[in-house]
Structure 1
Amino acid sequence: MNLILLGPPGAGKGTQAKKLEDKYGLKQLSTGDMLRAEVAAGTDLGKQAKAVMDAGGLVSDDIIIAMIENRIQQADCAKGVIFDGFPRTVAQAAALETMLAKKGHPLLAAIELQVDEAILVDRLNKRVAEMQSRGEAVRSDDNEETLRKRLQEFRNKTAPIIPFYQGKSLLRSVDGMASIDVVEAAIDKILVGSGAGAAPSAPSAQHP
């Protein structure tokens, strides 16, 4: 069972991925972690990636997909994986789809956590104010300006993959502004309705 969690920063993807790991035995994959592991291990892919990064470039989609292909064959990915933060572009989505299909483990669903950006910004400001009132340290990037930039980047670069998965009849959407437990239940409903590899028959909310 391979899934993608979609949504902007602050949508709760990490929280829900952890719950899916615990409940279904899936493995959350981070391309950043994979890159660091390949580089540290000195693999051929790691050496290629390191050379690109040392030169100030971006690691190619081909290298990333090859790393994912290697990673999903490891024992802890036997029950399936959760992609969080990847793919980020339509080209990456298409390449990932091709690779997974070749392996015989296609995506079960791309689950979008829909959120209200204005509320996300308000929550951040309240959290920071509460931390400051308690005398706690606040991360330098934990501020409204940075969050707005990250939200804009999501809209510009990653949001276009939403219609890509909608066109593949893989997109399922849930209300990411609901409580953690309600979001978890909505995702469970999607997965239970999907069966083993079948397209979900009763999504909680279809993207318009």
Structure 2
Amino acid sequence: MRIIIFGPPGSGKGTQAKKIAAHFNISHLSTGNMFREAISQGTELGKLVESIIDQGHLVPDQTVVDLVEETIDKEEYNGGYIIDGFPRTVEQAVAFDNLLERRNESIDAFLSLHVPDEELVKRLLARGEGRSDDTEEKIRTRLDVYKKETAPVMDHYQQAGMFRSIDGTGTIDEIFERALSALPSK
């Protein structure tokens, strides 16, 4: 099974991705972890990403897709995976679709966690990570950016018939059950 889990900051996508990965015995691919691993391993792409991040720039779409490809080429991803944090743009989604098509693969589902803004703000403020951008004003700005940048990605997967909206409120287990119910049976 190949799944993309999507949602705004604080929606719980990392938590749910880990639970879904364990449930289906598939790998969890987090782009943040992927970047850190490529950098620590000193791969060519890792070195490129490190230099881009060090300069304070965003990693270009094709570089992100190349890193995802490098990661899913590893044996541990052969049995399926759940991705969180990718794709973030329609360009990344289209490039990923093309990559999967070349591999004779496809995504089984695109799960989108929906949580009201007030709940997201509350969760992010309570997270206590000490991030400088975890003030209410900056959280709201991040949520606005997320909505503007990611709505087209959701539309892309909705048009492809893979989009599944999940109510991301309630307990972790309640959300997990909703996510499992939204997945196609295999």
Q: Same fold (TM over 0.5)?
A: yes
Q: Where in structure 2 are the equivalents of 1:56-135 lying within 5 Å?
A: 56-124=56-124, 127=126
Question: Residues of 1 paired with 2:8 and 2:76: CA distance?
Answer: 27
Question: Residues of 2 paired with 1:55 and 1:188: CA distance?
Answer: 40
Which string of whole-angstrom CA distances, capped at 9 and with x for unpartnered residues, describes residues 48-105 of structure 1? 3344444544322222212211211222222212111111111111111111121122
> 30-39 or 177-186: which moved more?
30-39
Q: Residues 124 and 55 (structure 1 numbering): CA distance in 2 closer, same or farther, change over 3 Å?
A: closer
Q: Equivalent residue of 1:160, what SS?
A: helix
Preserved CA contact (<8 Å) 2:10 2:123: no
* 150, 165, 178: which one aligns with 2:157: 165
Q: Residues 55 and 122 (structure 1 numbering): CA distance in 2 closer, same or farther, change over 3 Å?
A: closer
Q: Residues 43 and 190 (structure 1 numbering): CA distance in 2 closer, same or farther, change over 3 Å?
A: same
Q: Which amino acid aligns with 2:65?
A: I
Deviation at 1:39, TM superposition (A): 2.8
How many residues were matched structurally? 186
Q: Residues 57 and 11 (structure 1 numbering): CA distance in 2 closer, same or farther, change over 3 Å?
A: closer
Deviation at 1:149, TM superposition (A): 1.7
* 139, 142, 146: which one aligns with 2:134: 142
Q: Equivalent residue of 1:195, what SS?
A: coil
When normalised by structure 1's length, the TM-score is: 0.79
When normalised by structure 2's length, the TM-score is: 0.87
Deviation at 1:155, TM superposition (A): 0.8
Unaligned runs of 5+ in 2: none
Deviation at 1:34, TM superposition (A): 2.1
Unaligned runs of 5+ in 1: 132-136, 197-208
Alignment partner, residue 181 of structure 1: 173
Q: Which amino acid aligns with 1:195?
A: S
Once the two structures are aligned, what percentage of the paired residues are identical? 39
Q: Which amino acid aligns with 2:108?
A: L
Alignment partner, residue 185 of structure 2: 195
Q: Residues 195 and 58 (structure 1 numbering): CA distance in 2 closer, same or farther, change over 3 Å?
A: same
Return the structure number with greater relative CO, CA threshold 8 A, min gap 6.
2
Q: Where in structure 2 are the equivalents of 1:31-70 lying within 5 Å?
A: 31-70=31-70
Deviation at 1:150, TM superposition (A): 1.5
Q: Which amino acid aligns with 1:6?
A: F
Deviation at 1:138, TM superposition (A): 5.2
Larger radius of gyration: 1
Q: Which amino acid aligns with 1:86?
A: F
> 52-61 or 6-15: which moved more?
52-61
